[in-house]
Amino acid sequence: MDSPVFNTVNGFDYALIALYFVIIIYVGFYAAKRNKDTDQYFEGGGQIPWFLAGLSNWVSGFSAFMFVAAAGFTYEWGIGAAVLFTSATWAYLVGFLYFAKMWRRCRLSSPLQFLTRRFSPSTTYFYSLTAVIPAIVGIGMGLYILCIFVSTALGLNDVSLTLGPITVSGFQVLTVVTGFVMVLYTAVGGLWAAVLSDAVQGIIIGVMTIIILPLSYLHLGAGSGLMAGIDRLLAEVPEGYFSLNGPAANPWFIIGYTINMMLGYNVAWHLVQRYNSVPDERGARKMAMLCCILSFVGPLMWILPVFAAKVIFPDMGAIWPQFAKPAEASFVSLALFLLPHGMIGFVVSAILSATLGQANDAFNWLAATITRDIVVPLRRHLTGKTLGEKAQLRVAWTTMTIVGVLGVVVAFIVPRFGGAFDFALIYFSLIAAFQMPVALGMIFRRTPWWSAIAASSCALIVAITLMVLGVLPEHDFARNMIIEAVVASLVFGLSAFWFKEDDPKHAGLKDLERDLRTPVISTDTQFGGAAMQVYGLIGSICLILGVVLALCTFLPSTPVAPAYINLIAGSMLILLGFGLRRLARVKTPAKT
């Protein structure tokens, strides 16, 4: 079989990438104008429409992970990927039924403020300090995953640069440059910038996946249609590919993964921030249901093409020998193989900025926490003075810069763990110790102020001890997740025997419980006009991108990736753009 010919990014694609980022930067400055104070910067003033908040949360939640780490798992293990990567559906369903409205009723100005109200200020300080390292690791992991995708698309994997005594690869240079851009991007517009840019990215990624799914099977069918492609897939995939095998066949792994999903998609701090960015609890529940639906449909749209990639590229190691896990380049290889120039430029841009948007989430809640839950009260305690709005923003920007630099360092370390998916499993299994008491604390509120600190500390100590001793190393992820869940729940439950309702440290708990019993109903009559205008902005962006893509029909192309695909994608964006602009006109009341 001949080696596949990939359409790596050319001059036309670079021009489109530049255009895309000009638009995204404009969105950032547009959002910055809405940020009158830190409430607007950190939580959108509680006026972000539920659909945009939900779409943004969903997009930033997967970023490049689904197209790299999850694609590698799918390529290697087959149908088990559908079981694992649609499991967020059930987590968001729990959020719809319970957590969404409860988080909105908390009425938080920063995510970790919940810990102060439910437990104590000491708990907030503890979680704030212990959250820094996991946040940096998460940003570094996302940066690594992103740069695998982009360096492959840009053809930088075989490029090296010598700087005096040091020789760095194209991948490493891209990591540093992207990290720098990431810090600048996230500091501009706050949460509104993240939401608006995430929406644009989600639309483009959605159009790309709608197109690449049938293209994959039409290519397999070799001119005989989709069904012929499906028949070829069933005939040529390895035996057992469509049976549960590998990690997905391990019941302990499934239990651990389910716990991880339930925690990660109900009590993650960036999600808490999203729930508090919408006007009321009804919007929060709608947001959770939207994420529930997208978390089922979306992963299937990416998993099915990777099944086809297993047949189209049977030996990924021969194509990308320089990667720690060559299978993680399976989806990007498919995109570069089947999509024409023009579409490739926009796809690279969208996935690049989607991951930057994911970093924006981490930066935003972490900056909000350090600024509002540590620096502001510490300044008030030491000097008796309150930190001004501009000074708070400077603290937030400084935090973002330091965290971003350290994230780049982590991105250089990830390959030593065997690949993005393996690294992600270890990372998420360890930080789960801190998430379990948060979920328990929302459900059961009769434990002492120190219960979260004790539960998370004991769980983490036990997990690290077992890891150091090498207990069940072949089941490290499941071991960490299950033991942390059990230990944290046990310690948290036992701490209830020391609960004293009249403890002065529980002053905030009574107010919290009152708020949790009080529904949040929006009374802002301006919401329909001011906030819904953003749909018009997104519609205009879709029109611009759609027209540009349609013009790309005249670019040189190949028989495998014909240029008319650009026309199809462009037409979809143009129709969507007109629809969104019409929606904005209908929803926005006329000025009197």
pLDDT tens profile 287-340 = 999 999 999 998 898 899 999 999 999 988 888 876 777 888 888 889 889 999
Q: Kindly report the number of other CB atoms within 10 A of residue 544's CB atom.
A: 16
Return the exposure string of 356-394: e unless at least 16 CB atoms fall within 10 Å of the residue's CB, then b: bbbbbbbbbbbbbbbbbbbbbbebeeeeeeebeeeebbe
Half-sphere exposure of 535 (CA within 13 A, CB side): 25
Out of 157-171, 186-200, 236-250, the most confident range is 236-250
Contact 429, 260 (CB under 8 A): yes
Segment 261-278 shows an average pLDDT of: 88
Name the average pLDDT for the chain: 82
Which pLDDT tens digit goes with each residue over 493-518? Answer: 999 999 988 888 787 888 999 999 99
Q: How confident is the model at residue 590 (pLDDT cuts 50, 70, 90)?
A: very low
The model's pTM is: 0.82
The string of pLDDT tens digits covering residues 222-268 is: 888 999 999 999 999 998 899 998 888 999 999 999 998 999 899 98
Residue 30 main-chain phi, psi, to 5 deg: -60, -45
- Start-end of H helices in 79-169: 80-85, 88-94, 100-105, 113-118, 121-154
DSSP assignment of 6-65 equals: P----HHHHHHHHHHHHHHHHHHHHHHHH-SSHHHHHHGGG---HHHHHHHHHHHHHTTT
- Assess contact for 126 and 450: CB atoms under 8 A: no
pLDDT of 421 > 70? The answer is no
Could you tell me where the DSSP H helices lie in 495-563? 507-516, 533-551
Chain segment 435-493, per-residue pLDDT in tens: 999 999 999 999 999 999 999 999 999 999 998 898 988 888 899 999 999 999 999 99
The values of phi and psi at residue 465, to 5°, are: -60, -45
H/E segment holding residue 166: strand 166-169
- H or E element in which residue 167 lies: strand 166-169
Closest among 119, 571, 573, 181 to 407, alpha carbons compared: 181
